[in-house]
Amino acid sequence: MKKKAKWLALFLTIVLALSFVACSSKNGSKSDNSRNTGVTPADKKNPVTLTTVSMFGGTDPNAPNYQAIISQFMKDYSYITIEDDSQVSDQDWKTRIAADFAVGNEPDVIQYFIDANASDVLAADKFVTIDEIRAEYPDYAKDTLDSALKAAANPDGIERAVPTTGYWEGLYCNKDLFKKYGLELPTTWDNLLQAIATFKENNIIPIAVSLNNVPHYWVEALILSAAGSEGYTQVPETVPQDWCTGLAMIKTLRDMEAFPKDTDTIDNDFAGELFKSKRAAMKLDGSWFLSSIPDKQNTVITAVPVMPGGKAKEGEIIGGISSGFYITKKAWEDPDKRDAAVKFVMANTNKEGVTKYWNGSGQAAVSADPIKDMTPLAISGFEYSNKASVTLLPIDSRISQEAYNTLIAGIVDISTGAKTPEDLLKEVLDINAKQ
């Protein structure tokens, strides 16, 4: 009996020992598998730093919106750090961006031009197309209107950029000044001429503009007025008479004293202040100007009226989409950055993000709803853009930058009669033909 008891005790000891080893081995293999497979919980990601660049810098009215989106993005994705370098998109900035792309120093994501202004950067062939991205991320740019994506296609017809908002150019009017002097808004050329004469008599600048700094709104509006959409959108090889007629009107308006006396020396910011302080009655500007106007109750937006003999039709305005968010191949070829870059662009271009950028100004690239408590000025801009039958891109989207710069630099001479429209346009077209 004692021998059987000893064997039974030994057997139970062995069984217990084997059970302990088996459990330890089972638990150990779980631990080892967790270490060796590299599997991490779903909410854990490798840290990622994205370098980003945008034109929402300096005093741009959308700079705070952009920074707010970045801040919220890094809260939503704590593993992603955004290193942003946004600046005002002046000529120096464009030159620097082109140089960065040329030497391989491009960012992971950039908001940049989509038209001829992007030619140098596009030549570097460092952007991923939307089709390529959607092949892996089908929901990419899902809120963006197809028409907006098409409008944001590059000159070669390929869609690479996801836009946020489009823009329009319109004639801002201090309607309280028009009312004070019993004037109709300048919806016809006769009304415009009457307003210029009356405001001049009462020591109010009729039209705030800097002809040496930013004359291009009037250049584009008057050429469109004279030539109509078909003539305006051509890239002429010889000097078009309609373009000459449009440019000649700048001298006519100057001779009527429609512009500030120092229009040759002030800059566009000062011209804006003349309008906002009610020292000027009208200013032709883009939709981005809207948010900076303090008196949103007494400011309205109209189209530039068609000049006598002009070929433009009602509803033809200048505007469009000039920029969008791109993902570079540098980011796309890094698996961690690829996903982060897609998320970042979508945060800026989904309906919520675009609505922040739009804010009732310009044209949203998504199907935006009217914003609650829109100001009368914002409603005016919303109605103005919605009435447009045709939206046409500015001239600089069709000709070379050097040719366009030559055109703009010659406007003061056109306005004073020092140079004829024919001579200036011949010089511009000769430069464009060589590009």
Among 213, 360, 230, 245, smallest CA distance to 296 is for 360
Q: Which among 57, 62, 167, 175 has a CA at the least distance from the CA of 115?
A: 167
Angle subtended by helix axes 401-409 and 421-434, to nearest 10: 160
CATH class of 167-319+384-434: alpha beta
Q: Say how far apart CA 142 and CA 33 lie, in whole Å.
A: 39
> The tokens of 97 are what?
């961006």
The Cα–Cα gap between 130 and 144 comes to 12
pLDDT value at position 44? 65
Nearest CA-CA partner of 340 in 348, 85, 130, 154: 348
DSSP string, 185-219: -SSSHHHHHHHHHHHHHTT-EEE--BTTTB-HHHH
Cβ(297)–Cβ(376) under 8 Å? yes
Residue-level length of the chain: 435
Dist CA 100 CA 103 (whole Å): 5
What torsion do the CA atoms of 309, 310, 313, 319 make, to the nearest 10 degrees? Answer: -170
Question: Which residue from 211, 200, 204 is spatially nearest to 263, judged by alpha carbons?
Answer: 211
Residue 3: per-residue pLDDT: 41
Q: Tell me the pLDDT of the chain (435 aa) as tens digits.
A: 444 444 444 444 444 444 444 444 434 433 333 333 333 343 468 999 999 999 999 878 889 999 999 999 999 999 999 999 999 888 789 889 999 999 999 999 999 999 888 988 999 999 999 999 999 999 999 999 998 999 899 999 999 999 999 999 999 999 999 999 999 999 999 999 999 999 999 999 999 999 999 999 999 999 999 999 999 999 999 999 999 999 999 999 999 999 999 999 999 999 999 999 999 999 999 998 998 999 999 999 999 999 999 999 999 999 999 899 999 999 999 999 999 999 999 999 999 999 999 877 788 899 877 777 889 999 999 889 888 888 899 998 889 889 999 999 999 999 999 999 999 999 999 999 997
Specify the pLDDT at position 6. Answer: 44
- Locate the domains of the chain by residue range: 48-162+322-364, 167-319+384-434
pLDDT for 33: 37
The CATH topology of domain 48-162+322-364 is D-Maltodextrin-Binding Protein; domain 2 (3.40.190)
Q: What is the pLDDT of residue 358?
A: 86
- Among residues 319, 216, 317, the alpha carbon closest in space to that of 268 is found at 216
β 363-364/165-174 pair status? antiparallel
Same CATH topology for 48-162+322-364 and 167-319+384-434: the answer is: yes
- pTM: predicted TM-score of the whole model, two decimal places: 0.72
pLDDT value for 202: 98
